[in-house]
Amino acid sequence: MSDGNTSEFLYVLLVFLSVNWDAHVHSEAFDRECDAQSKRLSTSSSGSNSSEHLKLWDHDDASSLTFVDSTSHGVPKLEAYLYYFGIRGRRQLGPKLIYRTSTDVFTPPSGPAQNLRMMQLLPVYEHAKLGENNLWATIRHETVGILDRLQIQLTSVDLVRFRWKEETEDGRGKTATSRTTIWIGVLPDSTTGDAAFDSSEDILQLLKKHDISDVDVAYHESTAQHLTDPVLYAPVDDLHPLKDVIDWVTTALSLPIAGLKTLHMQGTLGFYFKVGEDLYGVAARDVLFPAEQGNFPYIYQRSTFKNVVLMGNRAFDDLLTSIKAHIGTLNNTVSILEKRVASYTIGAQAGNQQAARNLATTQADVGKKETIEVLRKFFVTMKRDWAEVNNRVIGHVVWAPPITGLTSPYNYTQDVCVIKLDKKKFLNFKGNVIDLGPEIEPGKFMSLMYPRYDAQSSFDYPENRLYEPVSILSAASIKEPDNQDLEGDPVRFVIKRGHTTAHIHRILGSFDSVETAVHAYNNDSGPFSRGGDSGSLIVGPKREFIALLTGGTGPTDSADITFGTSMEWLWNDVIKPEFPGAVLYFDTPLD
């Protein structure tokens, strides 16, 4: 966020107020969050001193202040340093101007004794087009994409206006206000006028696509910290206070995804792969391409940018609801425990040894209060940093072949799309790992995988819950059972964790099916998949990639039989030919 951006400050402040109202988060942790955010937003860079001011009239070369570029679109020295004079306070140099598309004429002062024009920074309260359908958020996100591709080292992108007084012949002066301006902050000495000009041309073309011609672009140097998009968390263990609610915002597999323009269509990210230093994700095409758009091949083009977001709006609302539900449950639990503590304390004081033992155990459980505070803080963070859908963009589609049924010669359904992921979101990347989650205890998990007491178990439950496939099960082996159920029927058990249904173990059946067909193991655990699980990865107990979930048969909200496409065929025959050098296994996190 740039200095003095009042509208952005008020927006964030309103977000905090809404969090406090909706969640009733009246706690010290919440107050501390508000205080820290307020301090961060109100912090601004100090102005330049008078000695720097006087250096402006020294000889015009690189030794005066910092370098002023001499490229064809470079700004004259006095304009670079004095165009924004006054923004940071009276008699203070403003940020250094790099380039601007505005047509107003800057008249440089003749010397340090002449009064300088004072510039005022204004918010944008309304705009006929940018204010409709959250368009500015879309433009801002695509602008950042343009700058990143052109390797502009930006620090902020804001929507602002400027106001100043111009001289008139009668000496009274008049007030002038600039057009709405996309104000871009860049690191000092990192961007030339020519580089800014080139990226401005792309941004103006972006605006033109939306029939916008009354917005300027300007670049200034900035070292202020801006509010960055949130970063996905690392998976957590069973002892972490957020273990029940954090899954959807970690880098483990089965992230819930949707298209930026199709937020009502929810699916799951299946698996990752790398080509060089680029990170990609694989999902089912039908998650991101509505049927009404046609079944045509898609290859990434700037004119048809297709962003992918973490969680559609419904999924995000469900996450907030689940956090509040956990807080409510823990509040009730703590209330009961505190009553027990009071009762056991009386007994212990009377010499009752059993009461004393119960008191020690119960007092430890009252520590759940700390978990409540962590959950409250997490709720505030989600509402503040993740509610804006553009903050949840994790990448864009680069390739999606048409959906084809019973693809010759293997008779598999081809329902796949590849997403180039934003590595900045995946700083806590752990590779292709499935978080087995806290819902099922490890012992029960293992017994579900091998229900017969005489079964030879080759399933090793990971200590950190992160289950990492290390090989691909051949299509031929999928139809070969490797176990028996309780009735002695031949089966192959599988694991899946999708957006809608958590890890559930099922029999891999229908060995004469042309698809990878998954049948329910018993009637008590519910369906293997529901709507929203499309794109999930199906894996085996011996750390094998097995299939990508593509659909099922049965009721509209669940599936009696779930179908997937063989990973062997999908990886070797579909993805690798299109992405030479693709790597599925990760020895180390991202560089």
Q: Say whether pLDDT at 360 is over 60.
A: yes
pLDDT band for position 203 (50/70/90)?
very high
Q: What is the mean pLDDT of residues 139-167?
A: 88
Q: Say whether pLDDT at 34 is over 80.
A: no
Q: What percent of the chain has pLDDT over 90?
A: 29
Among 38-47, 386-395, 559-568, 580-589, top mean pLDDT goes to 386-395
Q: Say whether pLDDT at 64 is over 80.
A: no
Residue 220 CA to residue 98 CA, distance in Å, equals: 5
pLDDT band for position 228 (50/70/90)?
low
Residue 494 CA to residue 515 CA, distance in Å, equals: 15
Please report, for the chain, the start and end positions of each structural domain, with discontinuous segments joined by +: 44-221, 228-297+308-317+397-591
Residue 472 CA to residue 540 CA, distance in Å, equals: 9
Residue 91 CA to residue 79 CA, distance in Å, equals: 16
Of 527 and 479, the one with more pLDDT = 479
User: pLDDT per residue over 436-491, tens digit each?
Assistant: 888 788 888 887 777 665 555 667 888 888 999 999 998 888 777 776 666 666 67
Of 323 and 27, the one with more pLDDT = 323
Strands 412-414 and 506-509: unpaired
Of 471, 478, 537, 479, give the one whose Cα is nearest residue 503: 537
- Looking up tokens 């689940």, which residue turns up? 322
Q: What is the mean pLDDT of residues 532-561?
A: 73
Q: Say whether pLDDT at 133 is over 50.
A: yes
Q: What is the pLDDT of residue 88?
A: 76
User: pLDDT per residue over 495-504, tens digit each?
Assistant: 877 655 555 5
Q: Can you name the residues that pair with 547 across neighbouring β-strands? A: 538, 566
pLDDT band for position 123 (50/70/90)?
confident
Q: What is the pLDDT of residue 199?
A: 95
Q: What is the mean pLDDT of residues 172-176?
A: 85
Q: Say whether pLDDT at 19 is over 50.
A: no
Q: Say whether pLDDT at 257 is over 60.
A: yes
Among 100-114, 359-373, 574-588, top mean pLDDT goes to 574-588
Q: What is the pLDDT of residue 383?
A: 85
Q: What is the pLDDT of residue 264?
A: 82
Q: What is the mean pLDDT of residues 8-33?
A: 42
> Residue 285: how many CB atoms within 10 A of its CB?
23
> Tokens at residue 545, please?
């990639």
Of 489 and 544, the one with more pLDDT = 544
Of 224 and 468, the one with more pLDDT = 468
Give CA 24 to chain center in angstroms. Answer: 26
Of 526 and 92, the one with more pLDDT = 92
Helix, coil or strand: residue 299? strand
Worst-scoring range by mean pLDDT, 148-152, 409-413, 533-537? 409-413
Q: Say whether pLDDT at 38 is over 50.
A: no
Three-state SS string across 87-128, please?
A: CCCCCCCCCCEEEECCCCCCCCCCCCCCCCCCCEEEECCCCC
Residue 308 CA to residue 390 CA, distance in Å, equals: 10
Q: What is the pLDDT of residue 104?
A: 92
Q: What is the pLDDT of residue 301?
A: 78
Residues 419 and 397 sit within 8 Å (Cβ to Cβ): yes
pLDDT band for position 376 (50/70/90)?
confident
Q: What percent of the chain has pLDDT over 70?
A: 73
pLDDT band for position 45 (50/70/90)?
very low
